[in-house]
Amino acid sequence: MPRQNQRKSSTVTTDKTSSLFVKKVHAVVKRIPLGKTMTYKDVAVKAGFPNAFRAVGSLMAKNFAQEIPCHRVIKSDGTMGNYNRGGIEKKKQLLAYEQKLAAKHKQ
């Protein structure tokens, strides 16, 4: 049976890893250019957690911070995945709008 201080140490490590994961994923997602997308798997790989694509999806599903463009993260099969700020149709609309903006800025 683990000692109490061992359990706390384990919890602290998990919390630190979790916090690091969140920070790294958010940093990657913030850098997705306007009009572009990345898959949950690509985000996980870039963040340094290549097997955590489902965790990336869960994190994006809980994201309400406006500065994290979670709508730019899609499934590996090219489908949208869900969007917690208005559903899949809203996600499609946002991406289409951003693609138009990005095209205008290129001209």
Tell me how far apart the alpha carbons of residues 92 and 79 are, in angstroms, rounded to a whole number: 10
pTM score of the predicted model: 0.82
More confident residue, 96 or 105: 96
- pLDDT at position 39 over 80: yes
**pLDDT band at residue 37 using 50, 70 and 90 as cut-offs:** very high
Catalytic sites, residue numbers: 70
Handedness of CA 96, 99, 104, 107 (dihedral sign): negative
Domain count, the chain: 1
pLDDT at 5: 47
Return the SS3 of 32: coil
pLDDT at 79: 95
Cβ atoms of 37 and 72 within 8 Å: the answer is yes
pLDDT at 62: 93
pLDDT at 18: 76
Tell me how far apart the alpha carbons of residues 55 and 30 are, in angstroms, rounded to a whole number: 17
**Residue 43's domain is classified under what CATH number?**
1.10.10.10
Residue with tokens 């919890």: 11
Domain membership of residue 27 as a residue range: 4-106
CA distances from 31 to 14, 15, 42, 75, 80 (A): 26, 24, 13, 18, 19
